[in-house]
Chains A and B, each alone.
Chain A
Amino acid sequence: MPSFAIPPKEPRTIIIDTLERTSAESSVSAFRGEAAKLRRSGQISQYLWRRIKMDRWIDALPALCQIGEGWNSYASPPPNGDSASRAADILKRLNPTNLIPDAIRASAEGGIAIVFTSGRRNRAVIEALNNGEQFLLMYDLDGRNQTLDWPSNLDEQGKILGVLSQYLERHTDAVGNS
Chain B
Amino acid sequence: MPLGIHEIDTTVPFTPPERLYRRISPLELDELGEITPDQFESISFKKEQESAPSVLRERFSVPADALHRDCADGKDFSSWRVFAITVGQLPTAVTSMDGRVFDFFPVHIPLQVCGAHSVISSCLASDTARKYICPPRNVRNDLRTKLAIGFRPA
Contacts and interface: CB of A to CB of B under 8 A. Distances in A.
A74 B42 contact: yes
Interface string B23-41: 1010100000000111101
A76 B42 contact: yes
Interface stretch (A21-29, A46-54, A82-90, A103-111): A103-111
Contacts of B137: 133, 135, 147
A137 interface: yes
A142 B77 contact: no
Contacts of B25: 72-73
Interface of B: 23, 25, 27, 36-39, 41-44, 51, 53-54, 72-73, 75, 77, 80, 97, 137-138, 141-142, 144-146, 149
Given A102-B38, A109-B44, 9 more contacts: A73-B42, A74-B54, A103-B39, A124-B38, A135-B141, A137-B144, A139-B141, A139-B145, A145-B145
Q: Which 8 residue pairs across A and B have the least CB separation, nearest first?
A: A147-B138, A108-B44, A139-B145, A109-B44, A72-B42, A145-B145, A123-B38, A108-B42
13 contacts: A70-B73, A72-B25, A73-B75, A76-B42, A76-B44, A103-B39, A106-B41, A117-B38, A124-B38, A137-B144, A139-B145, A143-B146, A147-B141
Interface of A: 70, 72-76, 102-103, 105-110, 113, 115-117, 123-125, 133, 135, 137, 139, 141-143, 145-147
